[in-house]
């Protein structure tokens, strides 16, 4: 539900009318709000609306207050006084289950409240495996894309505070962007083997690349002090020979695709596959095809 001041919230509990707190004259409340929603968001408009509605109800008036230039606190206090109710807008409430009065007086009034059409049945979502972003290699977001649940910075802090190290490692690696680790983990689960140790997340590799772009020579050291080659974790750049064996760089040849049939390493081989004709010629051909002046247009 939501008021007219951006004060939205979920319905956490629905009670029978007889169990709701009630006023001294026996009138039960319709909605009970958590007061902690006011100071943190500094949303004072909803409180003033409650008071003004209470005064208007007591006086039998209808009130129209212009936006940004409405009734101020002093005027509302005067109206509450005229209506014969407490100036602070508070009253004694009684517990609907026991009939006993609450220890403190409570702010009561008549605000407008609206129903927002957000239902649990439409919101519920779960994911086992699913699509990943091509850029970050992390799961997509949102129910519509069958995405994962966002685990943000403060959620990480919470697990750190509880000392849930293995849960945190799993969330940040095999359940996120540890590309090879998640494949190996899935395979281990299917085969009934022990889950392997998670690898390096893709986001860390991107961080290293960004540092290298700043001309910083970054070297990753393992627990034994030896340098870790991040490519060892990822077989994306590997080229396979017969029997699924990964070929070393000096054995990779691409005679058909490369000039002179020379030996190349994996990076050069990958780049060669994306070479296209001169850019100007490509766009010239496209421009000709759009104007339909060229004989080549039918071939585009």
Q: What is the DSSP string of 124-136?
A: ----SS--B-TTT
Query: pLDDT exceeding 70 applies to what percent of the chain?
Result: 77
Please identify, among 49, 74, 107, the residue that sits at the C-terminal boundary of a domain: 107
- What residue numbers bound the domain in which 253 lies? 249-300
Same domain, 294 and 260: yes
- The predicted model gives 102-107 an average pLDDT of 96
CATH number, domain at 89? 2.40.270.10
pLDDT given at position 263? 46
Q: Look up tokens 């049945």; give the residue.
A: 121
Q: Is residue 240 part of a domain?
A: no
Same domain, 220 and 136: yes
- Whether residue 149 is predicted with pLDDT greater than 50 in this model: the reply is yes
Q: Look up tokens 């949102």; give the residue.
A: 142
pLDDT digits (tens, 9 = 90+) for 71-89: 899 999 999 999 999 999 9
Please identify, among 233, 258, 281, the residue that sits at the C-terminal boundary of a domain: 233
Q: Is residue 145 part of a domain?
A: yes
pLDDT given at position 184? 94
Q: Is residue 1 part of a domain?
A: no
Q: Is residue 206 part of a domain?
A: yes
Buried b (16+ CB within 10 A) or exposed e, 57-68: eeeeeeeeeeee
* Confidence label for 199 from pLDDT (cuts 50, 70 and 90): confident
Contact 182, 168 (CB under 8 A): no
Please identify, among 81, 107, 133, the residue that sits at the C-terminal boundary of a domain: 107
Same domain, 225 and 262: no
Q: Residue 102 has which token pair?
A: 């609450």
- Residues 6+ away with beta carbon under 8 Å from 34: 9
- The predicted model gives 34-42 an average pLDDT of 91
- Whether residue 175 is predicted with pLDDT greater than 70 in this model: the reply is yes
Distance CA 210, CA 175 (A): 23
> pTM above the 0.85 mark?
no
- Residues 6+ away with beta carbon under 8 Å from 143: 123, 125
Q: Name the domain count of the chain.
A: 3
- Residues 6+ away with beta carbon under 8 Å from 234: 179, 180, 199, 205
Contact 44, 16 (CB under 8 A): no
pLDDT given at position 135? 84
Distance CA 264, CA 122 (A): 54
CATH number, domain at 131? 3.90.1800
Q: Is residue 281 part of a domain?
A: yes
pLDDT given at position 259? 43
Same domain, 151 and 216: yes
pLDDT digits (tens, 9 = 90+) for 276-299: 334 444 344 444 444 444 444 444
* Confidence label for 222 from pLDDT (cuts 50, 70 and 90): confident
Q: Residue 21 has which token pair?
A: 């707190």
Same domain, 66 and 146: no
Same domain, 50 and 102: yes
pLDDT given at position 229? 83
pLDDT given at position 253? 52
Question: Which of 120, 163, 86, 143 lies closest to 10 in space, CA to CA?
Answer: 120
DSSP 242: G
Q: Residue 22 has which token pair?
A: 């009630």
Would you state the torsion angle of the CA atoms of residues 54, 60, 65, 69, taken in this order, to the nearest 10 degrees? -70
Same domain, 191 and 287: no
Average pLDDT, the chain: 82
Same domain, 161 and 228: yes
Same domain, 294 and 228: no
Same domain, 140 and 96: no
Same domain, 130 and 178: yes
pLDDT given at position 74? 93
């Amino acid at each position: 539900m939501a008021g007219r001041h951006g004060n939205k919230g979920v319905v956490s509990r629905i009670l029978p009318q007889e169990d709701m707190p009630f006023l001294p004259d026996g009138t039960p409340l319709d909605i009970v709000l958590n007061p902690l929603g006011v100071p943190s968001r500094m949303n004072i408009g909803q409180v003033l609306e409650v008071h003004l509605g209470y005064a208007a109800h007591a006086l039998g008036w209808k009130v129209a207050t212009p936006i940004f230039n409405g009734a101020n606190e002093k005027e509302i206090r005067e109206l509450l006084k005229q209506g014969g109710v407490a100036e602070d807008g508070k009253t004694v409430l009684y517990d609907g289950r026991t009939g006993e009065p609450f220890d403190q007086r409570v702010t009561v009034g008549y605000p407008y409240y609206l129903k927002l059409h957000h239902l649990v049945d439409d919101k519920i979502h779960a994911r086992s495996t699913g699509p990943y972003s091509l850029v970050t290699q992390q799961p997509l977001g949102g129910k519509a894309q069958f995405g994962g649940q966002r685990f943000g910075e403060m959620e990480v802090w919470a697990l750190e505070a509880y000392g849930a190290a293995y849960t945190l490692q799993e969330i940040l690696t095999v359940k996120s962007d540890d590309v090879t680790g998640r494949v190996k983990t899935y395979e281990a689960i299917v085969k009934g083997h022990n889950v392997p140790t998670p690898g390096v997340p893709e986001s860390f590799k991107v961080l290293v690349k960004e540092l290298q772009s700043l001309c910083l020579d970054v070297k990753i050291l393992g627990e034994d002090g030896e340098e870790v080659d991040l490519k060892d974790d990822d077989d994306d750049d590997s080229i396979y020979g017969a029997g699924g064996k990964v070929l070393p760089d000096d054995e990779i040849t691409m005679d058909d695709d490369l000039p002179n049939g020379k030996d190349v390493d994996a990076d050069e081989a990958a780049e060669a596959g994306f070479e296209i004709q001169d850019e100007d010629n490509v766009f010239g051909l496209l421009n000709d095809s759009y104007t339909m002046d060229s004989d080549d247009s039918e071939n585009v």
